[in-house]
Structure formats: C-alpha cells, structure tokens
Chains A and B, each alone.
Chain A
C-alpha cells in the first residue's frame, strides 16, 4: 500500500512539475529560446506570493496577481532585451537567459536572504483519506490548478485569435508577418505568458515545498526534461510528462533515497535524448 501512496504523491507533484514545464515549452516552441532563467521566474513568483501572504493575502488569491506581475516582467524583458538578439543562434539566447538567471538569483539572495520560506495557509497541511491512501490537500489543490492552467493554455492556443497568431508565428514567422502579425509584440506576449505560468508554478511550489533563491537551479533543468518528454506543442502532453517525472522521483525516493532523485531525473533526460531523436522539436 505504501507504493500506492507514493504513486499518488508522485502524480500530484507531477502535475505541478508539468505546470512548471509549460512556460518553458511554450517559449521554446514559439520563440526558439531555451529560457535558462525559467527556474528563477518560478522562484520570483514564489517569493511574491510569500510576501503577499505575510501581508495577509491567501496564496490562491495572489496567484492571479503573481501571474500578472510576472507576465509584465517577462513582456518587458522580451520586448526590450531579448528581441534584440532573438533571431541569432540558440546559443546566444541561451547565454543571455543564463546571465539573466545569474542576475535574478543573486538579486533574490541579496534581497530575500537564503532562508527557507514556505507559504502555509491553513488548508495546506490538511489531508483526507481515500481508503488506505492519504491525500494531502495542498498538493491536490496544486495539482488541480496546474491541470486547469494547462487546459486554459490549450484553449488559448487553439480557440483564440491571439493563440492562432502565436501558433502562426511559431510555424512561419514571415508568413505570419504577411497576415498582419506584429512579431515583436507576439514574441513579447508569448514570453510574458511563459513567465506568468512560471509565476503560477512558483506560487503552488511555495505551498507544497520550500522557497529559496536557488530553487531555480534544479527546476530549470527539470522543466527542460519534461518539455522534451512532452513535446513542445501540446500543453496536456506536457502535464503528462510532468507526471512521468513526478512518478519517477517518488519511486526513486522510496527505493533509492531522496538524494538520488536528481540523478535519476537527469539520467532519464540523458537516456531519452540519446535514445529518441528529437523529431517533434524545432531545434536546429
């Protein structure tokens, strides 16, 4: 029965992981930018909601605020800085976002200190039982919101005009231009959405785990792994990918110990990349 418990935990955590990867996959698929600062965006979202929480706001209320603030942040960065080099080799944007990650992480360390922070609203610690399995409420809510946001993203991309414009830009920049799309604007909006999703992920992460300036260090590569497993087109497949990683981590933690969860995740990454050629990915 312990195994079932572990699997449930893995699935719930995995949904959140999927949400984390969503923003990175979107930006990668549309802009061909691998955002190494993605983990830092998650971290910032977490801190924002943490401080709002200490000021009395429930994290679920602050979640949309965090998303809005991070959307703006991402939009400005893309519009003013990344758009200057976005059409160069992937390597350049990789290095740029790397530098951004360094800046944001150190700024966070400077301003917020390295102390562990958690967001614990009253319901976060509660749990209920389904048979022999205990379901933590906090994680369940995180899972539900993660899936909901993935669905929203899917609907945005498939059913709205903006979504069509984004997809058109992703597929063929020049053709999209001919149809009246303003690429600079679309790029900035897309990056903003990616940041907003990271912000949401950070909020939820703060509820189920702890926030430090350094959580981005592992969350960025993890998001990358999930984005690869899930492919860059379908948000729902990415959530599924997140669940795969969540399960892998949970099982590893049970049988090998928590130290090895990162090793297993990255081992999986290497395995997947080596064995499965990147057919669905746009990378040159």
Chain B
C-alpha cells in the first residue's frame, strides 16, 4: 500500500509542477485535460458506481459556465461567489430534474438525458436572458498557472470524493443499485434518494469545472457551454479508463486527451472519430476499462480480451 500512495503523491506533485517546467501550450492542454477529467470523474459517481449512464451532464457544465458568467459579468461579483452561485444552481437543477427522471430505470434514464441535453442545447441557443444569444464576456485575468492549479485542486477534490464514495456506505448503496436494483430495494436501499444524491454530487463538480473554464476563456456562448460533445467525451473517457473505480476516469481522461492532442495535429477532424472507435473497442474488449487491464492481463494474458465476448455472444 505504501508504494502506491507514494506513487500517487509523486504523480500529483508532478502534475502540480507542470506550470513551472512546461510551456504555455502544455499548460493550456493541462487545463483542458484536467477539467475534462473532472467531468469524467463526476460522471463516474452516477454512471460508474450506480450504473446510470447519463448523456446529459453537459447541462450542468453549461449551468456552471453561465452561473459564473452572469455573476461576474452582470452582477460584478467575485469569482468564488460566482462559483458558489453556479454550483447551487446546478445542484438545485439536478435535484429538481432528478426527482422525476431518476425513478426511471437505467436505459430509460439514459435516453431521457439524451433528450434533455438536446433540448437544453436548442433552448440555450434561443433564450434571451443570458446576453441575447451573443454570449457573455467575463473580466479578464491572465494567469494560466492559476487556472491550472485551480483545475488540479478541483480534480483532486472530485477524486477524493470518489475515493470516499468507494469506501463508504453511500458507495455501497450505489454499487448495489448498479448490480441489482430490485435486490437493493428489497434489502432496504432507497434507490431514488441515493441516485439523486449521486446526480447532485456530479452536478456540483461539473458545474464548478464549467465555471472555471468560463472564467479562463473569458467569453462564453450557448453553443460552447452546452456542448454535447462533452457528454460523448466524459462517457467514453470513464468507460475506457474504468467505471466505478477511483482513478479510472482520471487515467482515461488524461490518456485519451493526450492521444487526441497528438492525433489532432496529424488528422484534424478524424481525431474526433477516434473517440467513437475507442468506445466501440472498449465495450467489446475492455468491459472494465483500462485500470483493470493490468491485473487482468497478468492473470489471463490475451484471453482477457475475450472474456466479455465469450460470456455474452449469441
């Protein structure tokens, strides 16, 4: 155990030190990668642990972005107040919306979130409240290092939360729901309440990530904030890295972000295609994600990749 803790601490220290030995491009890549890792980790709470796949978490990201933007650009409040405001809206939205839609079972919930994401996107492009569809401009603060470290701290907070979930009674409830929701109910788990709590937690971190991003890029518009490609990426990164694990989403996000960066230089648009193929491959060959690959490969060698197929093919 000690070895792993040390390695983890070293990794975090390394990540924290990037602004000092990396160039501007690396820092910017870092901010984006860290923020998407937060999204993946947040998604992991409901999606990985409880098994409820949401295709609509980008809504919370958008609410977070606009929450901070409205607070800072229109009400002249400081950043941290904006973040609190943004997080509150997102959590309230999660609780309100979650109450009817989290009574639904997995696949129904998934499609409803798909619909909500699509509807929110369309709505955001047409509503007037947030700056007449021209977007909002936030006060400028040029300090990439600050945003980088803030993103890292947020990721650490999200990951620590997931670590707590993995060891707590709350986490056991979510896992029970994922494994067998009927059996969980018969054992005394109030599934709806736990699911809503999980969604609220996901909304919290996702919104703050959106807020940090908004302040960083200074200008937001509906299309960029309620961005459905984020949904695609956070789902794929978590499923690829290892759903229901503590580090899976982080690993998945950082690895895939890095690969995407590299590919984006050589084959521009096709790199986006890459994500789709990743999940196709991952669902068939890597059902437990990258994080499980180490141990699984050691035990079964190449047969590891066939276990999923052998069990579920027709």
Contacts and interface: CB of A to CB of B under 8 A. Distances in A.
Direct A–B contact in complex, judged by CB atoms less than 8 Å apart? yes
B108 interface: yes
Given A217-B228, A263-B119, A98 B279 contact: yes
Interface in A226-284: 259-260, 262-263, 265-266, 269-270, 273-274, 278, 283-284
Interface string B218-257: 0000000000100010011001000000000000000000
A92 interface: yes
Nearest to A281: B108
Contacts of A109: 269
B39 interface: no
A164 interface: no
B148 interface: no
In this complex, the member of B114, B123, B277 whose beta carbon has the largest number of chain A beta carbons within 10 angstroms is B114
B194 interface: no
Given A96-B279, A107-B273, A283-B105, A217 B284 contact: no
B103 interface: yes
A231 B116 CA distance: 22
Interface residues of B, number: 46
Given A91-B106, A263-B119, A221 B114 contact: yes
Interface string B103-142: 1111110111011101100110010000000000000000
Interface string B27-70: 00000000000000000000000010101000000000000000
B269 A106 contact: yes
B280 A100 contact: yes
A221 B275 CA distance: 21
B270 interface: yes
B284 A273 contact: no
B312 A266 contact: no
B115 A269 contact: yes
Contacts of B308: 85, 88
Interface of B: 51, 53, 55, 100-101, 103-108, 110-112, 114-116, 118-119, 122-123, 126, 228, 232, 235-236, 239, 269-270, 272-273, 275-280, 283-284, 287, 308-309, 311-314
Interface of A: 34, 36, 81, 83-88, 90-92, 94-96, 98-104, 106-107, 109-110, 183-184, 187, 217-218, 220-221, 224-225, 259-260, 262-263, 265-266, 269-270, 273-274, 278, 283-284
Given A36-B111, A259-B123, A270-B100, 14 more contacts: A34-B111, A84-B312, A85-B284, A85-B308, A95-B53, A98-B55, A98-B235, A99-B275, A103-B277, A110-B273, A218-B118, A221-B114, A221-B115, A260-B123
